[in-house]
A and B are shown apart, each in its own frame.
Chain A
């Protein structure tokens, strides 16, 4: 049973399109995250939700909009895709959003290529 799953695994699309990535966790965790890993391998947090409430919102273009319909799901919608959005997007979850929740469980990643 996959703990944190993401779909799709690969996404190739053209500039200007709108796309969504879905994430689900079956660990019963309260907190979920979106990370972006760029071509230089830096992994940076984008958003975090705790029990459907947004708690971390980094400096991310407002073309990126997360949505959490329930605490087991966190989706990421991207409008007007740009070349610089090409990266691997990881979803993760943790028990809660406190400083003790350092063990985050990551999904397999979605490799987004914008052409």
Chain B
């Protein structure tokens, strides 16, 4: 079992839709959580951090549930430019600087 698991999708949604992705992690010692975005054939880039209290950045909301060991990302009012792969990322407390990536969830926003 992978340490960080995501549904690879693809999720095909129309413009303007709200879409949510989940990610589960298996190591309870995991300390920090993030979402990265990777466009097709490009490098990953940090999208946002994830906190237990929730984190909102415009149309994007990230949430952490430590008890159930899952992280979510909600995108409201989807745009064509949101089409990308969203990577769930975890840092274990014992591994400084070592990002553990999920496989990614691919989102395709259609006109």
A binds B: yes
Cβ–Cβ < 8 Å partners of A109 in chain B:
42-43
Which secondary structure dominates where chain B touches chain A? strand
Task: Report, as a range, how many residues of chain A touch the other chain.
Answer: 20 to 34
Cβ of A81 within 8 Å of any chain B Cβ, yes or no, is no
| Closest B residue to A88 using CB positions | B41
| Closest A residue to B102 using CB positions | A42
Cβ–Cβ < 8 Å partners of B42 in chain A:
108-109
- Which of B44-52, B56-64, B76-84 has 4 or more CB atoms under 8 Å from chain A? B44-52
| Closest B residue to A108 using CB positions | B43
Bound form: Cα–Cα A90–B38 in Å: 12
Chain A residues packing against B (C-beta within 8 Å) = 31, 33, 40-45, 48, 50, 55-56, 90, 94, 96-99, 101-104, 106-109
